[in-house]
Structure 1
Amino acid sequence: MSGIAVMMMVMFMIVIWGGLIVSALQLRRNPDEKSGELGMSMWASDDVLAEQEVH
């Protein structure tokens, strides 16, 4: 492979893996249970949601 091809490969690996790391850190700071449409609503508790499941 040429030097340009290696440089492009390394650059895009950094972009892809860096995006994965950034998204994992963001999810750790703002977990799904505390964000989104329902957030910390009283209607988003485990008990209320379990009652709404269809068996």
Structure 2
Amino acid sequence: MSGIAIMMMVLFMVVIWGGFIASALHLRSHPDDVSGALGTADHARDEHLAAQEIH
């Protein structure tokens, strides 16, 4: 491999892994259960949704 190919490989590995780490850190600080439009609404809680399931 040429030097430019190795440089491009390293650059894109940093971009991909950096995005993965950034998204993991964001998810840690903003969990799915409290994000979005219905995140903190009472009717969006697990207990309420489980009570609506047909058994």
Q: Provide TM-score, normalisation by structure 1.
A: 0.90
Percent of counterpart pairs with the same letter?
64
Judge which range, 41-50 or 13-22, deviates more: 41-50
Counterpart of 2:47 in structure 1: which amino acid?
D
The one-character-per-residue Cα deviations of 1:33-53 (angstroms, maximum 9, x if unpaired) are 011120111111221110223
SS at match of 2:36: coil
- The unaligned stretches of length 5 or more in structure 2 are none
- Name 1:40's counterpart in structure 2: 40
Q: Provide TM-score, normalisation by structure 2.
A: 0.90
Deviation >3 Å, runs of 4+: none
Confirm or deny that 1:31 pairs with 2:31: yes
What root-mean-square deviation, in Å, do the aligned CA atoms of Structure 1 and Structure 2 show? 1.1
- Name 2:2's counterpart in structure 1: 2
- In structure 2, the CA distance between the partners of 1:51 and 1:9, relative to structure 1 (3 Å rule), is same
